Structure 1
């Protein structure tokens, strides 16, 4: 079992704080395992087993589901008096009006409440209103490249591990599967459960084939500017007529279940957010390969996707940057300020034109914020007038990078 150290540290830091801990993320990214790791930590640090109350709401014992009142009563009857109780509710969004049970447990003085959900609507609407200011969200992703590499301590071939990472998937359970056929079957089932359980069941979309076509379009266009009109026009031109409002509904549902992340654009010089030209990145490249096959794989965009997810893991708010007529792949913002990233699979060519092209957007930014060019080219860290060129795999592994 890979220790998800950063996420585990987040839970530990919020232990016994009067906040509901909400762990969100795509199905099978490791939320349940994180709860198991945290429960082990609690036991190792003096919490008795009867103080831990845990329910996975996907468990077959719940049949067709339970009400929020039944959930509350199930937990309440197990509460130990005069001691803190640690309540874990996995996939709680499956309970209708679950927010009422969560809020009722939260107000009990001896309950520390932790919940997970595989859909962003978990924190929308009534729950967000009811619990405003009383919860903290921990956004979970599948394995980082560094976490993936840690599962192969005997293998020092980082390039081979990277290829395995993007083809075999970053979902933790795929590490337990040895044959490509088994991994494919697992990813097929995972994809079907996301589309059917998290999208079709919730939104009652009548045309599953059209939803899958839009999903394939997004997988095939990671890193490209995409608009609802462009998607609608593409579907219509291929003989599948669809309206722009319907495309918008599909896109919302696909981002709600965390299979894709929508990234907006920001005008760096004008200091304003742009209303058009979003990009979409996939939560897992292995899932992309599983849906599309390996024939249409732009390695530069795949690397860009991996870098984007890593920036999210490191706690950045991420946008696409616009500088005059050029584009910066990512503006990464945290409490310390802004950083700028350009990503290219390689910048090595005969006349240096590729390097010049990739540096141009960063050179157009006239400030002293950190600027990085990440590539798969090997060599020492290079400075191009203050712009650091770093090997992307070294950056992903968080190796000490000095010039």
Structure 2
């Protein structure tokens, strides 16, 4: 790789970092540790690297010691695994310093990147990597990297981060102050509708931004990377999944729904395409805690990693958006310890079960006529499941405590739940 081009790429990127507005996030990084940051596009991974680079300079590092390469730069088209060492050689041409800090953005584009990353770690280099594909955290990659990097998943703004960015106070005093609480509630409705993409928070036309992110994920991270041939089937599948949020769906059903539009597909294709969407951090799934293994894998409930993306497909479905926001919040906090619980034998249907937290949660936009059904499921679940300690119903606005049959159920409005 031409070293002059690499120098230009690195120096141009340094200028970008120097002029960047750094958004504070709820993520922390240990000193002298190598990281792999993964997550949905535009969720803020690069900005976190900018922050780390600026902090290094504030602590005395010279900008020449910051070697930042974004592999989506068009000047790097044709870059291959064999070119990686040119980056190291170029770094030594730029600085005589002993300590050099390498930042590699969207490195998964380059096939074989993991072998270079392992060599860099073995040579005691300080390396920070980002990528937008879950395969970077696969067992195979973990085996190759051999524990030399700490993985960290970066998601779009949490509600608290969105409030911080908009400079809206959300401490206990604010929650109990009429005017400030009203601001929090209004911001929550926007968050549930528009999602948490950092760059979209202050935009007037958020929908166009969300559409551009979705198309980039769909076309670049799924269709192109996975070489999907039946592009229409993939688009229709994601639309159908959006319509099933709040409900479990089998791959057979997904295939049938897509075929009903006149588009050819198969159950195997639906299994493959959902895996692609999960790898690109577009979707994640919860499994039925009470099901047998085969059913756990074949009949999941799908959610979108960001409400803004889900809202592109929905018209006037506040219940689905509220439940998706709850799912994203739980995924952020508890990762894979989030299930649903549905039993044909008992009729119990619980939206979210956190076994390690001994907690069952229902999402209901408004209780009203649904109160009896929601409370009955929770109480029945608590009586039949050993060790359940906490029962919660998340609503749009309602807040109270329900005492029934010796059990207490907390009814929590979505804005407080997302700040918990």
**TM class by shorter-chain length?**
0.7 to 0.9
Structure with the higher fraction of residues in helix conformation: 2
| 1:259 Cα offset (Å) | 0.5
Counterpart for residue 112 of structure 1: 126
Establish whether residue 311 from structure 1 lines up as the match of residue 337 from structure 2: no
| 1:188 Cα offset (Å) | 2.1
CA distance in 2, matches of 1:249, 1:135: 28
Deviations 1:317-374 (A, max 9, x none): 211124543122112255xx4432222112234x952453453454333324333222
Structure with the higher fraction of residues in strand conformation: 1
Counterpart for residue 99 of structure 1: 114
Counterpart for residue 401 of structure 1: none
Counterpart for residue 302 of structure 1: 321
Q: Matches of residues 197-346 of structure 1 in structure 2 within 5 Å?
A: 197-267=220-290, 274-290=296-312, 292-295=313-316, 297=317, 299-316=318-335, 317-322=337-342, 324-332=346-354, 337-346=357-366
* Residues 267 and 273, structure 1, Cα contact 8 Å, conserved in 2: no
Q: 1:159 aligns with which of 174, 177, 185?
A: 185
Runs of 5+ consecutive residues of structure 1 not aligned to the other structure: 399-403
- Which shows bigger deviation, 204-213 or 373-382? 373-382
Counterpart for residue 353 of structure 1: 372
Counterpart for residue 16 of structure 1: 32
Question: Cα–Cα, structure 1 residues 342 and 379, in superposed 2: closer, same or farther, change >3 Å?
Answer: closer
Counterpart for residue 66 of structure 1: 79
* Residues 303 and 345, structure 1, Cα contact 8 Å, conserved in 2: yes
Structure 2 SS opposite 1:240: coil
TM-score by length of 2: 0.82
CA distance in 2, matches of 1:147, 1:113: 26
CA RMSD of aligned residues (A): 2.7
CA distance in 2, matches of 1:344, 1:227: 23
Runs of 5+ consecutive residues of structure 2 not aligned to the other structure: 1-20, 169-179
Deviations 1:167-201 (A, max 9, x none): 333211112422x3xx3322222111111111111
* Residues 338 and 352, structure 2, Cα contact 8 Å, conserved in 1: yes
Tell me the number of residue pairs that the alignment of Structure 1 and Structure 2 aligns.
380
Structure 1 SS opposite 2:309: helix
Structure 2 SS opposite 1:114: strand
Question: Cα–Cα, structure 1 residues 21 and 129, in superposed 2: closer, same or farther, change >3 Å?
Answer: same
* Residues 243 and 314, structure 2, Cα contact 8 Å, conserved in 1: no
Counterpart for residue 412 of structure 2: 390
CA distance in 2, matches of 1:304, 1:54: 39
* Residues 115 and 145, structure 2, Cα contact 8 Å, conserved in 1: no
Question: Cα–Cα, structure 1 residues 380 and 41, in superposed 2: closer, same or farther, change >3 Å?
Answer: farther
Establish whether residue 52 from structure 1 lines up as the match of residue 62 from structure 2: no
CA distance in 2, matches of 1:26, 1:305: 16
